[in-house]
Amino acid sequence: MKCLCIRLKVPGNSIAEDATLGRISEMRHIKHSKNRDKALRCLLHPLHETDAKSRDVSLRMKLSNSRGKMSFENLNIIAPLQQALAKEGYTIPTPIQMQAIPYLLQGKDLMGIAQTGTGKTAAFVLPILQRMFENNKAPIPGAPRVLVLAPTRELAAQIDQSFATYGQFLRFRHTVIFGGVRQGPQVRILSRGVDILVATPGRLLDLMNQGYIRLKDVEFFVLDEIDRMLDMGFINDMRKIVSALPQKRQSLFFSATLSRQTGEFAERLLKDAVRINAAPQASTLECIEQRVFFVDQNNKYPLLQRLFIDQDLDRVLVFTRTKHRADKIAEMLSKDKINADAIHGNKSQNQRTKAMHDFKSGHLRVLVATDIAARGIDVNDISHVINYDLPSEPESYVHRIGRTGRAGADGMAYSFCSSDERNMLRGIERLTRKKIEVSEHKYHSENAKNAVGEAAKPATPGRSSRAMLRNLRPDSMHKSGSHRPYPVRRN
Ligand code: AMP
């Protein structure tokens, strides 16, 4: 990796440099980059992390020998796919693509550990499309050849969009199905025959049970964000879905983090799989600058206001722990004339789609979200991720901040930490093996910074939620004694 970075710094030294610079300078979000070298390093960063256990040593040798002239052509990607990649401005495969594609073209099962924003979707979409093209078949109604499962509707929709983008010069039919919308249109598309089906587990099982989908012809089975699927309680749905798949298939699993539970689950379903580690587990992207703001709960909103006044917060994703809190903050920002909306599981699918669309198109400056958005959002130029509340699971931190700094751009990740979140911060720093730099600011709380023992833990869930809601408004806005507690819903 080092030699790659050095080479990239020498002007005009390689095709890779020129081509990557071409792609990078084309990206709108490059305006957030302090320098292009850094952006390049970030895009190409995990190259050296190929798992030492990867069994095909000669293939790895070939890969490393060909780094000087890395391109999709070197990976033997067929012309129609290269054409689509060129149209997107992608000439250099990212490390996960470089590592995974050769194995996937050979038909191997794969467990890929890849950081968010590293191009892992193309790493599986491209070889799947290529292998389908090499063995072309007419689509059969209700019986797809490819099944991709994703934990959230937004992520499923994005993966489907990637099949559309990369497959634009091929003639495969694809569709996405998820809950929260009427099933009629989905059933009609399925009945006309689709080659590629992207789904969330609930709606897939629903339509399978009604006889609209049969999985007996699935050749390629992809589980994206597998750890998240397990966290979200999809394990039983996934078991049922897997039992309907044929034994002979190629299975591709991807995740940004890998717990023991995930590893065991994957191990049972994969056959003779290649394991690729595109990045150290749970390491946060190098190009994201991280800061922690120690602050008391009641000063979090004033701090947020201050940041909007003092800093160039262009396109901001704010994370809260509960849905209700997300709504409240979006409401308060809107009152402060900052264009904001909230996205979470209690919103209808139409509201979620609209909020995402408005955020992507730049109509909204701020999207306030619960963790549902941590995996599904691929908006290239998110300038800042703000953890208004720290996540209780440290892995979520990695996913949340991965929403900025995507595809080599710089990003900022700010985390507000009150005393009862102090241990969460310690957990995050332990997981990422990185000490987050402390930011100085007007509302700094030494109490929060130094909290230990009981004071550093969240209070009992009910109490802490109510306290958090009470503290949403700055002190000056409370009329003491007249506070009306907001209803608390579980997220
Ligand atoms: P992903 O990790 O799959 O969500 O991808 C993150 C972003 O990287 C997406 O916006 C992709 O369109 C973009 N991307 C994927 N492959 C490449 C590539 N080879 N070069 C530049 N950008 C890419």
Same domain for 265 and 175?
yes
pLDDT at residue 365 in the model: 94
Distances (CA, A) of 221 to 226, 246, 268, 323, 467: 12, 10, 14, 33, 45
**Does some domain include residue 490?**
no
Distance 94 CA to ligand 1 centre (A): 8
Same domain for 273 and 294?
no
Q: Per-residue pLDDT for 48 more than 60?
A: no
pLDDT at residue 30 in the model: 32
Same domain for 266 and 327?
no
pTM for the full model?
A: 0.64
Closest CA to 280 of 478, 393, 432: 432
List the alpha helices (DSSP H) in 216-296: 226-231, 235-243, 260-269
pLDDT at residue 113 in the model: 85
Cβ(163)–Cβ(172) below 8 Å: yes
- Strand (E) or helix (H) holding 254: strand 250-255
CA-CA distance, 332 to 337, in Å (whole number)?
A: 9
Q: Which of 230, 259, 279 represents a domain boundary (last residue)?
A: 279
Distance 119 CA to ligand 1 centre (A): 4
Q: Which of 279, 301, 327 represents a domain boundary (last residue)?
A: 279
Length of the chain (residues): 491
For residues 463-482, give the mean pLDDT: 40
**Does some domain include residue 456?**
no
Same domain for 263 and 304?
no
Distance 439 CA to ligand 1 centre (A): 31
Distance 370 CA to ligand 1 centre (A): 24
**Model confidence pLDDT, tens digit, residues 111-161:** 998 766 678 899 999 999 999 999 999 999 999 999 999 988 888 998 999
Cβ(226)–Cβ(254) below 8 Å: yes
Highest mean pLDDT: which range of 65-69, 262-266, 335-339 = 335-339
**Does some domain include residue 293?**
yes
User: Which ligand 1 atom is at minimum distance from the Cα of 162?
Assistant: 12
Same domain for 361 and 223?
no
Domain that holds residue 51: 5-279
pLDDT at residue 288 in the model: 83
Give the pocket of ligand 1 (CB within 6 Å). 23, 90, 92-94, 97, 116-122, 378, 380, 406-407
pLDDT at residue 405 in the model: 67
Same domain for 133 and 270?
yes
Q: Per-residue pLDDT for 404 more than 80?
A: no
| Range in 308-312, 324-328, 392-396, 461-465 with the lowest mean pLDDT | 461-465
Same domain for 202 and 314?
no
CA-CA distance, 187 to 206, in Å (whole number)?
A: 11
Same domain for 254 and 326?
no
pLDDT at residue 82 in the model: 96
pLDDT at residue 22 in the model: 26
Q: Per-residue pLDDT for 166 more than 60?
A: yes
Q: Which of 73, 121, 224, 404 is the best mutation target for the ligand 1 pocket, counting ligand atoms within 8 Å of the beta carbon and taking the most? A: 121
Q: Per-residue pLDDT for 364 more than 80?
A: yes
Same domain for 68 and 44?
yes
**Does some domain include residue 462?**
no
pLDDT at residue 24 in the model: 28
**Does some domain include residue 486?**
no
Q: Which of 239, 261, 279 represents a domain boundary (last residue)?
A: 279
Q: What is the mean pLDDT of the chain?
A: 78
For residues 462-480, give the mean pLDDT: 42
Other Cβ atoms less than 10 A from the Cβ of 263: the count is 16
pLDDT at residue 403 in the model: 77
Exposed, middle or buried, 437 (CB in 10 Å: 0-12/13-18/19+)?
A: exposed
E strands in 296-455: 316-319, 340-343, 366-369, 384-387, 411-417, 437-438
- Which band of pLDDT confidence, cut at 50, 70 and 90, is reported for residue 300? very high
Cβ(318)–Cβ(367) below 8 Å: yes
**Does some domain include residue 294?**
yes
Which residues fall within 8 angstroms of residue 281, CB to CB, at 6 or more apart?
Answer: 113, 257, 258
Amino acid at 427: G
Cβ(127)–Cβ(104) below 8 Å: yes
- Which band of pLDDT confidence, cut at 50, 70 and 90, is reported for residue 189? very high
Cβ(60)–Cβ(28) below 8 Å: no
Q: Which of 73, 118, 378 is the best mutation target for the ligand 1 pocket, counting ligand atoms within 8 Å of the beta carbon and taking the most? A: 378
pLDDT at residue 419 in the model: 95
Q: Per-residue pLDDT for 331 more than 90?
A: yes
**Model confidence pLDDT, tens digit, residues 79-92:** 999 999 999 988 88
- Which band of pLDDT confidence, cut at 50, 70 and 90, is reported for residue 49? very low
Other Cβ atoms less than 10 A from the Cβ of 179: the count is 14
**Model confidence pLDDT, tens digit, residues 414-433:** 999 999 999 999 999 988 88
Q: Per-residue pLDDT for 9 more than 60?
A: no
Q: Which residue has the higher pLDDT, 259 or 8?
A: 259
CA-CA distance, 152 to 155, in Å (whole number)?
A: 5
pLDDT at residue 69 in the model: 53
Cβ(296)–Cβ(451) below 8 Å: no
pLDDT at residue 104 in the model: 97
| Range in 48-57, 69-78, 241-250 with the lowest mean pLDDT | 48-57
Closest CA to 419 of 308, 292, 287: 292
Same domain for 363 and 253?
no
**Does some domain include residue 133?**
yes
pLDDT at residue 255 in the model: 83
pLDDT at residue 481 in the model: 30
> Please, what sign has the CA dihedral across residues 104, 110, 116, 118?
negative
Q: Which residue has the higher pLDDT, 228 or 142?
A: 142
Same domain for 394 and 267?
no
Task: Give the domain CATH number at 246.
Answer: 3.40.50.300
Phi, psi of 148 (to 5 degrees): -115, 125
Cβ(343)–Cβ(368) below 8 Å: yes
Q: Which residue has the higher pLDDT, 410 or 282?
A: 410
Provide the number of structural domains found in the chain: 2
Distance 353 CA to ligand 1 centre (A): 21
Q: Which residue has the higher pLDDT, 122 or 47?
A: 122
- Which band of pLDDT confidence, cut at 50, 70 and 90, is reported for residue 64? very low
CA-CA distance, 163 to 126, in Å (whole number)?
A: 8
Report the share of the chain in percent with pLDDT over 70: 75
Q: Which residue has the higher pLDDT, 471 or 475?
A: 471
**Does some domain include residue 471?**
no
Residue tagged 């095709």 (tokens): 15
Order of strands across the sheet with 411-417? 340-343, 366-369, 316-319, 384-387, 411-417, 288-294, 437-438
> Please, what sign has the CA dihedral across residues 279, 280, 286, 288?
positive
Q: Which residue has the higher pLDDT, 467 or 446?
A: 446
CA-CA distance, 45 to 436, in Å (whole number)?
A: 20
| Range in 76-85, 185-194, 294-303, 307-316 with the lowest mean pLDDT | 307-316
pLDDT at residue 436 in the model: 94
| Range in 63-67, 313-317, 378-382, 410-414 with the lowest mean pLDDT | 63-67
Same domain for 390 and 446?
yes
